[in-house]
Amino acid sequence: MYSIIITYAALLDDKMSSEKNKIKYERLVDVYQALDSTTKRLEKTEILSDFFSDIHPKLLPIVTLMALGRVFPVWSEEELGIGSKLLMKAISSVVGVTSEEVEDQVRDQGDIGAASEVLFKKRMQTTFFSQPLTIEMVYNNLRKISSVSGNRAQSRKMNIIRELLSLASPLEAKYITRTILEELRVGVGEGTIRDAISQAFGVKKEVLDRAHMLTNDLGLVAQVTMEEGEQGLKKLTLKPGKPVKPMLAQLAPGIKESIAEMGRAYCETKYDGIRVQIHRKGSEVMVFTRRLENISNAVPDIIEYIENALPHQNFIVEGEIIVTKDGKPISFQYILQRVRRKYDIEKVMEEVPLTLYLFDVLYFNEPLIDAPLERRRDVLESIVKLSENKIQLSRQVKVTMENVEDAEYLFTDSLNKGHEGIMIKDPNEPYIPGIRGKKMLKFKAEPESLDLVVVGGTYGKGKRAHFIGSYLMALSDQSGDLKTIAHVATGLDDKTLLELSQRMDEIIQESKGRKVKVKPHIILEIAYSEIVKSPEYESGYSLRFPVVKRIRDDLSLDDIDTVARVESMFKG
């Protein structure tokens, strides 16, 4: 009898757990609405904290992703692959209007989510029976979209979207459509999510930050925090197959000053290429960009080099991919086109051969992230078989103030060979993902520049009416909000202007006359002559004579420059 009671109790617990796991999607929509109603980060943190603390642990990884407006982590190879045109077609089918009417509404509302809400309120078609959407149902159905391929793939993807939207209320449709295009627009970033997890489960921010830094998986971090607390978080570590954010460099004030402050330094050539993180997990080799995008399929030659040059043991190494022609590196933009290519890769491999320079190792059979650079470099040198035209180690000199001229020579010689300058690294320091600090510096000969994100633009006149000829640029403040700093209208040829204008058309959120507001996605490196105080822009600063130096498709929003950095540069 006792065992029957125990069994019944266990079944009851499972049922209650299962029911708690089935939370209506409208509850997440209420959270989205609350987040959208405030601009204050502390209030957003409170809203998310209350929500997270009342969610089943198995559902936490899902809601942390969906709170960021994502279905897959940024480093995942999986993607929905749904464009706005296809989504508008699905909306028109469910609502019972033409695609043109959907487009008109999107144009009027400035956003596909707001347009969906309006259209669904006027909905002409109804389903014979309806069941409430759950968070799991929405998430799982969206995930299904990425696995659809082959014959009639677009039609089958449309069916999945229509199935979801046919069960959605106007507000649910608003956020489902935004999630599909990854344009949630509720003002929440990873920092807010981390703070909310910390507050919800009473764990120290520094412990949570380190766990996130090592795993780059907020869903996992949230679940472990809820189930195991700080002790569980401290067990999380770096693992091949899951990329981490790269350690970032500050600008060096000068070669001598930097080496004097460090005492001794490792100085390396700074290559102007694509920074990559290469993982081996079992028999699989994966190549990630600094934005954590998996580009393995685009660089089979790099994977072949790695197979031949490194041991068939689990590792994470870091390096830079460049292309040389006649002994000198060629344009950074040309390399980007090469590694982003999806078709005819074998043909391009012959035309644009890649060289990989390795400069760090983060894992080799065990995590090395906390080991000093000196030891990490020794490990790297011991495991790599060099190949003159394929894989090399970054050129390096070990320097103190007694032989500082070796660093100066390396700098000059690197420039003469077509590279950017040098890196100056403290050999005693660990690897700190995602942090820009004084223990790794870069020294370049070119004028100062900033990495900024495009938030708006203005179309030209006359023959240039189809170009966006002026770009409104922004950087981030301490809370992660974007603040404008300059308009830039020079530095791009007509071909690049047309390409950028076409890309901007796909991310327009609002239009007014010739001016547009866009989703912050395109990052440009902007050179300038001087930083000046200016009430015209939200940052309080402006750039004199700004010029577009290049498009930075290798960077993400997390990598753009900050108001704090501009302030420090302005103060000298």
Is 27 buried (19+), middle (13-18) or exposed (0-12) by CB count in 10 A?
middle
Instruction: For residue 387, list its beta bridge partners.
Output: 391
Q: What b-and-e string marks burial along 354-372, b requiring 16 or more CB atoms within 10 Å of the CB?
A: bbbbbbbbbbbeebbbebe
Q: Would you call 463 helix, strand, or coil by DSSP? A: helix
Q: Would you say 367 and 242 are in contact if contact means Cβ atoms under 8 Å apart? A: no
Q: Which two structure tokens, joined as six digits, stand for 475?
A: 């950087």
Beta bridge partners of 466: none
DSSP string covering 129-189 = S----BHHHHHHHHHHHHH--STTHHHHHHHHHHHHHHT--HHHHHHHHHHHTT---S---
Q: How is residue 290 annotated by DSSP?
A: T
| Catalytic residue (choose from 157, 270, 439, 519) | 270
Q: Hey, is 122 helix, strand or coil?
A: coil
CA atoms within 13 A on the CB side of 434: 18
Measured CA distances, 140 to 43, 64, 70, 71, 496 (Å): 29, 15, 12, 9, 39
Question: Which residues, including other chains, have CB under 8 Å from residue 48's CB and lie 6 or more apart?
Answer: 31, 35, 67, 188, 192, 193, 196, 200
Q: Cα(449)–Cα(156) distance, rounded to whole angstroms? A: 46
- Could you give phi then psi for residue 423, rounded to 5 degrees? -100, 145
Tell me how far the alpha carbon of residue 328 is from its chain's centroid.
Answer: 30
Give the ranges where 167-270 is alpha helix by DSSP (H).
170-180, 190-201, 205-215, 218-235, 255-262
* 182 CB-near residues (< 8 Å, 6+ apart): 69, 70
Residue 270 three-state SS:
strand
Q: By C-alpha distance, which of 298, 302, 297, 307 is closest to 321?
A: 302
Q: Residue 540: phi, psi to the nearest 5? A: 85, 0
DSSP class of residue 572 equals -
Sort residue 326 into left (φ over 0), alpha (ψ -120 to 50) or beta: left
Let me know if 519 is a catalytic residue: no
DSSP characters over 3-68: HHHHHHHHHHHHHHHHHHH--BHHHHHHHHHHHHT---HHHHHHHHHHHHTTS-GGGHHHHHHHHT
Of the candidates 172, 140, 149, the one whose C-alpha atom is nearest the C-alpha of residue 72 is 140
Catalytic amino acids? 270
